[in-house]
Amino acid sequence: MTPPPIPLIRTAGTHAEVGREIGSATAETVRRFAALPYDADLVRRYRAVTVEHLPWVVEELDGAAEGAGVDPLAVFAASIEELAPAEAPAGCSDLLVTGDLTANGHLLVAHNNDLYAEDEEDLVALEWRVPGEPVVFTLGNGPWLSVGWNDAGLSVTGNELSPNDERVGIPRLVQMRDVLTRRTLAEAVEAVLHPARASSYNWVVAHATDGALNVEGSATQAGIDEPAPDGFLAHTNHYAWADMQGFESSAYLTNSCQRLERARELARGAPFTVETLRAALADHENAPDSICQHDEGPKPVKTVFWCVADVTAGEITYGRGNPCDSEAQVYRF
């Protein structure tokens, strides 16, 4: 059965106000995540660093806690992926194409987001309107963002990694909100590489006029590269840069490596459109270690949402569940 559409919630106001609106609208999700156990003293250390550098993000999270009627420290604890159990799922596949690889010369970014099957029920699309900042559109669970775009032309997707140098600092999940307020590619990369970061994702950062970069990071180091000369870029959930492989601690390398190899094979399908990139995201080669992941195999994870962004046009096509069986939704700036 095709899953239902992802609800869109439009918010506007100060950081605290949009946080309260989101917390109220997603209260069940916020309460469920806030009910998980945590080390209060350790969470306060992460929070103190974040308040020092990104106080406005903490205001939003505190607003979400208020809107949902839960303890703000518990909501912040749920924002620290660095403290999640080691067996927590880490799955995403990204493909980026530009130039002659696309039918219209636009910059296109495709992303599958893989989590536990039950996380699919909490998905929400959010529109953020804060005075003085770009309008932002995101997909994720409650106030926690997985991917996003803004009306300054920025696209931010990417892949969870397992760096072995994590430390107390600004949680990578919290950084996502900061990166999405930036107006240029250079500003976004600067935010990604904040010196007080606790760890890092692999960030696929693209811009309608500035181009695209892939930032494979850890808490203390990063490797940055551009799309290949033919305009293609792919990444999954392991360190691909030779200089970054010493930071690897993932137990799921086979799954990630097979998805990356298959994504690179799919580059031969050019020229790409939004529709053919969605078809690439729906690829089942090498199942259960396929780009379109279903709830099977030793790792109980599936693709809970997919998206293909025409970054040049400012248009995002997305849907709940697997891209092979999903209702397409469209957001336009």
Domain limits of the chain?
Answer: 8-82, 88-332
86 pLDDT higher than 80:
no
How far, in Å, CA of 259 to CA of 91, rounded? 10
pLDDT score at 322: 97
CA distance 204 to 111: 10
Q: Mapping DSSP to helix (H, G, I), strand (E, B) and coil, where does residue 4 land?
A: coil
Residue 264 has pLDDT above 90, yes or no: yes
**What's the pLDDT band for 88 if we cut at 50, 70, 90?**
low
Per-residue pLDDT band for 84 (boundaries 50, 70, 90) equals: confident
307: its two tokens:
């998206």
pLDDT at 90: 61
Q: What is the DSSP letter of 298?
A: S
Q: What is the pLDDT of residues 154-163, one digit of tens each?
A: 999 999 999 9
> What's this model's pTM, rounded to 2 decimal places?
0.97
pLDDT at 251 over 80: no
301 has pLDDT over 60 = yes
Tokens (6 digits) for 315: 């248009």
CB-count exposure of residue 13 (10 Å: 0-12, 13-18, 19+): middle
**How much is the CA Rg of the chain, to the nearest whole Å?**
18
| Distance (Å, whole) CA 278 – CA 11 | 28
**Structural contact between residues 114 and 159, judged by C-beta atoms closer than 8 angstroms:** no
pLDDT 10s digits, 120-135: 999 999 999 999 999 9
Q: pLDDT at residue 297 above 70?
A: no
Flag whether pLDDT at 60 surpasses 60. Answer: yes
101-124 residue pLDDT tens = 999 999 999 999 999 888 999 999
> Would you identify the CATH topology of the domain 88-332?
Penicillin V Acylase; Chain A (3.60.60)
pLDDT at position 183 is: 98
Task: Report helix angle 185-192 to 172-179, nearest 10.
Answer: 160
**Confidence tier at 50 by pLDDT (50, 70, 90):** very high
User: DSSP H helical segments within 54-201, as ranges?
Assistant: 55-68, 72-77, 172-179, 185-192
What is the structure's pLDDT at 254? 83
**In angstroms, rounded to a whole number, what is the distance separating the alpha carbons of residues 203 and 190?**
12
**Does position 27 have pLDDT exceeding 90, yes or no?**
yes
Q: Are strands 302-310 and 315-320 parallel, antiparallel or unpaired?
A: antiparallel
Assess whether pLDDT exceeds 70 at residue 89. Answer: no
Sign of CA dihedral 196, 62, 75, 303: negative
